[in-house]
Amino acid sequence: MNAVTEPMNTDDWTVPAVGTGSITLVAGRDFAISDAGGDMVRGAMHGLIHDDHRYLDVWRLRLTDLELRPLAATAPTPFSAVFVARVHELDGRPRPILVIRRRSVGHGMREVIEIHNSGRTPYQLTLRFDVGADFSHLFDVKSGRPSAIHGTIAATSDGIAILHPSPPTGRRTLIGVQPAALTIDDHGWSWQLVVGPHGRHVIRVDVDAVAGEPEPADIARFDGETDDAEAVHADDALSHHRFETWRERMPTIVSSDPRLVVAVRKSLEDLASLRIFDAAHPELAVVAAGAPWYMTLFGRDALLTSFMALPFAPELARGVLHELAELQGCATDPRSGEQPGKIVHELRTHGGAGPFSERSRYYGTVDATPLFVLVAAEAMRWGAVTIADRAWLVPAIDAAIGWIRDHGDSNGDGFVDYAPHDEHGLTNQGWKDSWDGVNFADGTLPTAPIALVEVQGYTHAALSGAAEIYRTLGRSDDAVRCIHEAHALRELFNERFWDDRGWFVEALDGSGRMVDSLGSNPGHALWAGIADSDLADRYLDGLVSDELWTGWGVRTLATPMGAYDPLSYHNGSVWPHDTAICLAGAARYGRWDVVDRLTDGLLDAAMYFGGRLPELFAGLSRRLVPVPVPYPGSCSPQAWAAASVLLLLRANLGLEADVAGRTVSVRPYGRLVRDISCDRLVVGGRYMSLSLRDGVLTAHAEGIDVVDRRTEHEDPNTPARTT
């Protein structure tokens, strides 16, 4: 998931780790990272980031001549945390003073500090906040090249502190404290407090990130005194309302497997925190790719995430499709990669070292456009988009199919491919988009244009899905054309991408040579239904071999390959979403032995990460290291890693919908779903419930027939739709 302004070199992925002892809070385009005590320390990848810029890089609470020792930290919601510490003398003797910090993010940050004295005598304390901001762009923070700018503090007449960058950048950090601090200097402020016996003292701090000069309204928001630790900021209230509404409506899972219950709940809560709401369409939300590095809209990530979440949170698909339709390419611009009908790769606010303008759009992705059509077709099957949405959705589908035909195949070999359009753009434009993410078995790199194995699968599913949509619109000629194109692509794919050694290759290069490495990408092609059954079966045998299977997940690249490195970004690591897609591909072809193994490994890994699967982790064998090893700098929470648990469950249940035909089909074969109940799944805008007990399926969906397909023996190539 490279960002477009990243230079393509091997140092890109040796970024400093956020740290396993860190606390990350996320709310849309705001997030805060601190240590387990609540402090943000300069140089430790900590800070408050809003809209891709860091507005705090130092945020440290301390007591003069005393020591604060952390006792506990918890994040009851994805956007709030509570930190508890005890006061000790410098010689180590404890004192009966507890400090509780309650923090929330969203349009800045709020923190309420409570000092509790459980003793029988008063205590006099000098409390100090050290504060700093470097106003670095997020890309510079990620690459370990933060700005040399450090803001200076100025106090307004009403006690508001403003961090000004020097030289000016047009950004400001406003900090209001209640009660007002006793002193404010260049590095922070302090209070002298007396906390009575069995008493408490409360301080509230509000932080606002402002682009440009502060307006009177920005200052006014800090007015008023408070002694209430539960005081709620308007932004907090909105975040809590949205989160509680999501939580009230989200599906509930009851299972004999506790791993599944924990992982599904955590996944749904993480997806809630990663939503970004459109001010122009407040009823719609898209999902950011992941915190901390990718808190923005990525076309590929948002589409795959919303697909995986369809029966659980169908509103994500509608919001993502709507936003991407609005951003769809309409001109030709080699610098940004824009072409008519192409779906955007990344929407990003720049202003740092990047070559693009503020609020730039970058289109350097080959797979987002067919994925857009694939997801649109599936969203229609589930009723996430309806007839009322056709006015904006169908023209976008037409344009995307037009891009596939007119621009997708640059060399006329029948496959959708890519080549970099600009020196600043990404070298590779599939999901493995690091500079060396596509390679031959000997480790050498191919020459463009490159036709990726998974992109052919996505395109096949897109053409088949478009045909289905066109049939419902009465456009039979368009439907027939798409079906013929999908059939021709499948025939050519199985002929050209199959390696007689027993696997589908990763790609074809510009000269038509097989990029013959063995990796996980063909699992995506199986998920999309393009592979012939006998070839798919042989590939799946290799997928669970020691070369690809770690015991926790599927390696992106097999161990014998020349570029294999278990600690690389794309050449041997494990990506949970990648494993889940391979799992769904195995389910599509009826390989429940593979489904069971991948399911167990992925859920075990989730438990080691506290129920939250990270963006990726090291591809080390479970036999070699008995725990999954974190990857430095991995995003967590991350959208498609969270949604991978939902796809895992969906594939084990064999859920497919046909709202137009008023049916939902279920094909539960995996061990995971022998004893399970699911409530508040959503199909056609209505709730659906199902349960399995001792092999007996019970299900209900108002106005929808639920069909048990366990007795059917279907050809996985038809119909051409994903699991």
CATH number at residue 110: 2.70.98.40
Q: What is the distance between the alpha carbons of residues 27 and 277, in angstroms, rounded to a whole number?
A: 10
At residue 280, the pLDDT reads 76
Closest listed residue to residue 173, CA positions, set 142, 129, 143: 129
Q: Among 223-232, 517-526, 548-557, 634-643, name the one with the lowest average pLDDT.
A: 223-232
Q: Tell me whether strands 188-195 and 123-132 are parallel, antiparallel or unpaired.
A: antiparallel
Structure confidence at residue 686 as a pLDDT band (50, 70, 90): very high
Q: Are 664 and 681 in contact (CB under 8 A)?
A: no
Residue 143's pLDDT band (cuts 50, 70, 90)? confident
Look at residue 564 and tell me whether its pLDDT is greater than 70. yes
User: Total structural domains in the chain?
Assistant: 2
Compute the residue count for the chain: 723
Q: Is residue 370 scored above 90 in pLDDT?
A: yes
pLDDT of residue 59: 94
The average pLDDT across 257-267 equals 96
**What backbone phi and psi angles, to 5 degrees, belong to 524?**
-70, -40
Averaged pLDDT, 85-96: 92
Percent of the chain residues past pLDDT 70, beyond the cut: 89
Where a domain ends, among 612, 642, 658?
Answer: 658
Q: Is the pLDDT of residue 354 over 80?
A: no
Side-chain-side CA neighbours of residue 84 (13 Å) = 7
Based on the fold, state whether residues 194 and 254 are members of the same structural domain. Answer: no
Instruction: Compute the distance between CA of residue 370 and CA of residue 347 in angstroms, rounded to an integer.
Output: 18
Could you tell me the pLDDT band of residue 683, with boundaries at 50, 70 and 90? very high
**Across 427-466, where does the E strand assignment appear?**
451-452
Helix axes 299-308, 576-588, angle to 10 degrees: 50
Does residue 224 share a domain with residue 119?
yes
In a domain, 663, yes or no: no
Confidence of residue 157 (pLDDT cuts 50, 70, 90): low
**Looking at the predicted structure, is the pLDDT value of residue 139 above 60?**
yes
d(Cα 595, Cα 606) in Å, to the nearest integer?
A: 16
Whether 373 has a pLDDT exceeding 90, the answer reads: yes
User: Could you tell me if residue 256 is inside a domain?
Assistant: yes
Question: Is 626 a residue whose pLDDT tops 80?
Answer: yes
Mean pLDDT of 115-141: 89
The pLDDT, as a whole number, for residue 720 is 32
Confidence bin at 226 (pLDDT 50/70/90): very low
Query: Which tops the pLDDT comparison, 335 or 153?
Result: 335
Answer yes or no: is pLDDT of 593 > 80: yes
306 and 206 belong to one structural domain: no
Q: Specify the pLDDT at position 232.
A: 46
Instruction: Tell whether 343 and 478 lie within a shared domain.
Output: yes
Q: Are residues 170 and 265 in the same domain?
A: no
Higher-pLDDT residue of 124, 670: 124
Question: What mean pLDDT is reported for the chain?
Answer: 88
pLDDT at 17: 36
- Output the pLDDT for position 105: 92
* pLDDT tops 90 at residue 608: yes
258-273 vs 234-249: helix axis angle to the nearest 10?
A: 140
Q: Which residue has the higher pLDDT, 248 or 554?
A: 554
d(CA 638, CA 507): 27
Read off the pLDDT of each residue in 658-686 and give the average, rounded to a whole number. Answer: 93
Please say whether the beta carbons of 439 and 410 come within 8 A: no
> In this structure, is residue 571 part of a structural domain?
yes
Q: Which of 658, 678, 706 corresponds to the end of one domain? A: 658
Whether residue 449 is predicted with pLDDT greater than 90 in this model: the reply is yes
Integer-rounded Cα Rg, in Å, for the chain is: 26
Give residue 362's Cα distance to chain centre. Answer: 18
Identity of residue 389: D
| Look-up of token digits 């709202």 | 659
> How many Å apart are CA 615 and CA 190, to the nearest integer?
40
Which two structure tokens, joined as six digits, stand for 294? 């990718």
At 264-293, the pLDDT tens digits run 999 999 999 899 987 777 789 999 999 888
| End-to-end Cα distance, the chain | 24
Domain boundary at 658, 691, 716, which? 658
Say yes or no to pLDDT of 179 above 90. Answer: no
Confidence of residue 162 (pLDDT cuts 50, 70, 90): confident
Assign 178 a pLDDT band (cuts: 50, 70, 90). confident
Return the pLDDT at 15. 31
Q: 198 lies in which domain range? A: 20-236
- Distance (Å, rounded) from C-alpha 1 to C-alpha 301? 8
Name residue 50's amino acid.
Answer: H
pLDDT tens-digit map of 465-484:
999 999 999 999 999 999 99
Q: Which residue has the higher pLDDT, 581 or 191?
A: 581
Band (pLDDT 50/70/90 cuts) for residue 675 is very high
Q: Two tokens at 551?
A: 């015991």
1 found inside a domain: no
Q: Where are the alpha helices (DSSP H) in 473-555?
A: 476-496, 522-528, 533-543
Regarding whether 498 and 393 lie in a shared domain, the answer is yes
Same domain (yes/no): 218, 257 = no
pLDDT confidence of residue 594: 97
- Judge whether 69 and 142 are in contact, CB under 8 Å: no
Residues 47 and 90 in one domain: yes
Same domain, 481 and 571: yes
Q: What is the pLDDT of residues 200-218, one digit of tens each?
A: 999 999 999 888 655 544 5
Same domain, 228 and 272: no
- Cα angle for residues 221, 226, 232 (degrees, 5° grid): 60
**At a CB cut-off of 8 Å and minimum separation 6, what does 413 contact?**
451, 508, 512
Burial of 656 (0-12, 13-18, 19+ CB in 10 A): buried
CA distance 650 to 641: 15
Is 694 inside a domain boundary? no
Q: Which of the four pLDDT bands, split at 50, 70 and 90, describes residue 719?
A: very low
E runs forming strands in 17-170:
23-27, 30-34, 47-50, 53-56, 58-63, 66-77, 80-89, 94-105, 109-117, 123-132, 152-155, 161-164
Q: Do 224 and 276 belong to one domain? A: no
* CA distance readout (Å), 453 to 265, 307, 513: 33, 20, 13
- Please answer whether residues 356 and 137 qualify as being in contact, where contact means their C-beta atoms are separated by less than 8 angstroms: no
Is the pLDDT score of 669 beyond 90? no
Q: Is residue 666 part of a domain?
A: no
**Is 548 a member of any domain?**
yes
- Alpha carbon 150 to its chain centroid, in Å, reads 31
Q: How far apart are CA 238 and CA 490, in angstroms?
A: 48
Give the pLDDT of residue 358: 43
Is residue 468 domain-shared with residue 523, that is, in the same domain? yes
**Residue pair 633/614 in contact by the 8 Å Cβ criterion:** no
Per-residue confidence (pLDDT) for residue 359, from 0 to 100: 53
Residue 9 contacts by C-beta under 8 Å, 6 or more apart in sequence?
A: 435
Cα torsion 114, 117, 121, 127: sign? negative
| Model pLDDT for residues 43-63, shown as the tens digit of each residue | 778 999 988 889 999 999 999
Structural domain includes residue 677 = no
Domain at 624, CATH number = 1.50.10.10
558-577 mean pLDDT: 97
